């Protein structure tokens, strides 16, 4: 019975506390279940031996009962044969087996009761181990989430003081925004300058074209290509 008490204590221990102390919760839980399953195999063997002992006691008890019935039959046979001495010998042997039977029957009943308790404990142990097996994956998932969260927190805290690093990113983003704005302003000014130069070119061209027209008209007048204004 002691092995079941130790196993129940082991399974009932605070697994979360064990995880917090373990370097690798998954490895520890797998090892724990492996150990428990080994103990379960040992327990099954122990219960099997107890059942075998109970069956043997049952057979021995039945054998004592058969001996009692056999010597009873022999005593009756001797009485019918008129041999009282032989009948008394048979009755004395029967009395011996009566005493054996009472002792065997007592031990058999005690062993049978113990076996039933062992079976109950074994079923309880099996149930607890099955439950631990189902919980193992959940506990491992929780441990991995906690480990990932801790790594993220350590990373944030370890990057140049954590928040200061992200503030640097914000400052750089603001600086880039300013640079883009200045570049856009420079382009706009350049475009305005280009427009002004273009207007000047067209103005000069128009001025040049106007002077040429006047000079051409004067030339044609001199050459007689145009009608004389005085004759009209």
Q: Give the burial class of 97: count Cβ atoms within 10 A of its Cβ; 0-12 exposed, 13-18 middle, 19 or more buried.
A: buried
* HSE-CB of 195 using CA atoms within 13 angstroms: 6
221 neighbors 215 (Cβ within 8 angstroms): no
Give me the pLDDT at residue 187, please.
Answer: 78
The pLDDT profile of the chain, 232 residues, written as one tens digit per residue, is 455 565 555 555 545 555 555 567 778 888 888 888 898 899 999 999 999 999 999 999 999 999 999 999 999 999 999 999 999 999 999 999 999 999 999 999 999 999 999 999 999 999 998 888 888 888 888 878 887 888 877 776 666 555 666 677 778 888 888 888 888 877 777 766 666 666 777 666 666 555 666 666 776 777 775 555 554 4
pTM of the shown model: 0.53
């Amino acid at each position: 019975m002691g092995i079941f008490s130790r196993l129940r204590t082991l399974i009932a221990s605070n697994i979360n506390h064990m995880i917090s102390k373990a370097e690798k919760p998954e490895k520890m839980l797998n090892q724990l279940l492996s150990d428990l399953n080994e103990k379960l195999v040992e327990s099954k063997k122990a219960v099997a031996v107890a059942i075998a002992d109970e069956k043997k006691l049952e057979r021995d008890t039945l054998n004592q009962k058969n001996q009692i019935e056999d010597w009873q039959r022999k005593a009756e046979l001797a009485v019918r044969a008129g041999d009282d001495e032989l009948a008394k010998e048979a009755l004395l042997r029967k009395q011996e087996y009566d005493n054996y039977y009472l002792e065997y029957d007592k031990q058999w009943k005690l062993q049978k009761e113990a076996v039933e308790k062992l079976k109950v404990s074994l079923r309880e142990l099996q149930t607890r181990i099955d439950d631990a097996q189902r919980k193992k994956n959940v506990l491992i998932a929780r441990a991995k989430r906690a480990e990932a969260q801790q790594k993220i927190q350590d990373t944030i805290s370890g990057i140049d003081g954590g928040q200061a690093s992200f503030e640097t990113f914000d400052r750089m983003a603001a600086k880039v925004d300013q640079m883009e704005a200045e570049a856009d302003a420079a382009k706009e000014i350049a475009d305005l300058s280009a427009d002004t130069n273009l207007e000047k070119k067209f103005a000069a061209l128009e001025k040049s074209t106007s002077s040429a027209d006047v000079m051409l008209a004067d030339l044609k007048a001199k050459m007689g290509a145009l009608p004389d204004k005085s004759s009209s």
